[in-house]
Amino acid sequence: MKQLKLAALAVVLSLSLSSCSGNGPEDTAKKFIEYTNHGEFSKAKELSTDKTAAMLGMAEGFAQGKMEEMKERNKDVKVEITSSEVNEDKAIVKFKLTGGENTEGSENQLNLVKVDGEWKVDMNKEGAR
């Protein structure tokens, strides 16, 4: 019986550890960029600081009625993470967008901060740099 409990505990622990993977700053940045490119602002807000979520709310208002056009225009855009730098609870993730009609492959960056143990995109009013 004790071995069964230990085996069950090992399974639970391994599942919890594997579910935590993919939550680093690079993964968060990539998901955020993909969501915003496809007009999925509510999902992008979940990956944002409160300040960034408020800016996304304004962008969502401007994009109202153009979501399908935005999704179509950006459907072939790929996000390539080129580098990242983590310093305690802050990170800078550099990326390139390729494959879309308005992408030139120039490098941009997103700033992220750790909020309650989760990486969140933290944009200033100029947006991604």
pLDDT, one tens digit per residue, over 72-125 is: 777 788 899 999 999 999 999 999 988 876 666 688 999 999 999 999 999 976
CATH code: domain of residue 79: 3.10.450.50
Total count of domains within the chain: 1
Q: Is residue 71 part of a domain?
A: yes
CB-CB neighbours of 109 under 10 Å:
16
Domain of 74 in residue numbering reads as 24-121
pLDDT-derived band at 46 (thresholds 50, 70, 90) equals: very high
Task: Return the minimum-mean-pLDDT range out of 2-11, 26-35, 104-113.
Answer: 2-11
Q: Is residue 2 part of a domain?
A: no
Q: Is residue 96 part of a domain?
A: yes
Task: Indicate the pTM of the whole model.
Answer: 0.74
3-state secondary structure of 85: strand
Q: Is residue 17 part of a domain?
A: no
Q: Is residue 66 part of a domain?
A: yes
**C-alpha–C-alpha distance, residues 52 and 20, integer Å:** 24
Q: Is residue 1 part of a domain?
A: no
What type of residue sits at position 23? N
Q: Is residue 69 part of a domain?
A: yes
**C-alpha–C-alpha distance, residues 106 and 109, integer Å:** 10
Q: Is residue 18 part of a domain?
A: no
